[in-house]
Structure 1
Amino acid sequence: MNIVMMILLIAIALSTVLAIVSFWLPQMNPDSEKLSPFECGFDPLGSARLPFSLQFFLVAILFLLFDLEIALLLPLPWGDQLDNPLLTFTWASLVLLLLTLGLVYEWIQGGLEWAE
């Protein structure tokens, strides 16, 4: 058996054991003290369950999406060292085009407007 298969089996077995144990360990009757928010040992000053604006989440998701795009496109300059660099640049251009179209759609729908 090669080492990759052995590591994969160990990882799956360990994940399964930890998932099963995590269902057995918690108590079945949680009390209100354990469900209350914890603020450095002090009683909470206000409600910890305040609603957030939906537009905040949209902007946060867009930030994460474009941050991931940058991470995916960083190795692009090394693509010209491959046998077929045109394929690499084509896929990168397709990703950029798709994300640009998504940003334009979000902009047209008004998802980036803070005040209405």
Structure 2
Amino acid sequence: MFIHFLTTLILNLIIMILIILISKKTIIDFQKSTPFECGFNPMTYKRLPFSIHFFLIAVIFLIFDIEIIIIIPMIMTMKLSMLIYWLLTLIMFIFILILGLYHEWHNGMLDWTN
């Protein structure tokens, strides 16, 4: 019984040592150990300026996606609800979207050339 325990222990230790030796990286490359960021040079550590215009366009795009996600189920529920309430809800929702679009347009958020 003791011999079986000892052989199992020795085999486990040998396998663990082999795994450590095989999996250890011998060459550590600085470029490969830095995180990859799309569009930025990973060689420098200084902060690069980030375009606020790109951020605003991304936020507007996300809002547009959420609007689509809300409108599509409204089309499917048209048969299940009373037409007058469904139409009133749809008109109010589209009116709020148009007000938001006017606000974005009035503040110049939709100017792509700046």
TM-score under structure 2 length normalisation: 0.55
Aligned to 2:55: 57
- The alignment of Structure 1 onto Structure 2 pairs a total of residues equal to 79
Please identify, of 79-88 and 60-69, the stretch whose mean Cα deviation from structure 2 is larger: 79-88
- Where 2:33 maps in the other structure, the secondary structure is coil
CA shift in 2, pair 1:62/1:39, >3 Å: farther
Q: Alignment partner for residue 71 of structure 1, among 69, 72, 76?
A: 69
Larger radius of gyration: 2
Q: Alignment partner for residue 33 of structure 2, among 26, 41, 62?
A: 41
Counterpart code for 1:92 = L
- Where 1:81 maps in the other structure, the secondary structure is coil
Query: Cα distance, 1:39 vs. partner?
Result: 6.3
Query: Cα distance, 1:52 vs. partner?
Result: 1.6
User: Matches of 1:39 and 1:74 in 2, distance apart?
Assistant: 46
User: Matches of 1:48 and 1:91 in 2, distance apart?
Assistant: 50
Indicate the RMSD between aligned Cα atoms, in angstroms: 2.6
Flag structure 1 segments of 5+ consecutive residues without an equivalent. Answer: 1-37
CA deviation map 1:24-54 (0-9, x unaligned)? xxxxxxxxxxxxxx96414831237423211
CA shift in 2, pair 1:55/1:41, >3 Å: same
Q: Which runs of 4+ in 1 moved over 4 A?
A: none
Q: Compare relative contact order (CA 8 Å, sep 6+) and give the higher one, 1 or 2.
A: 1
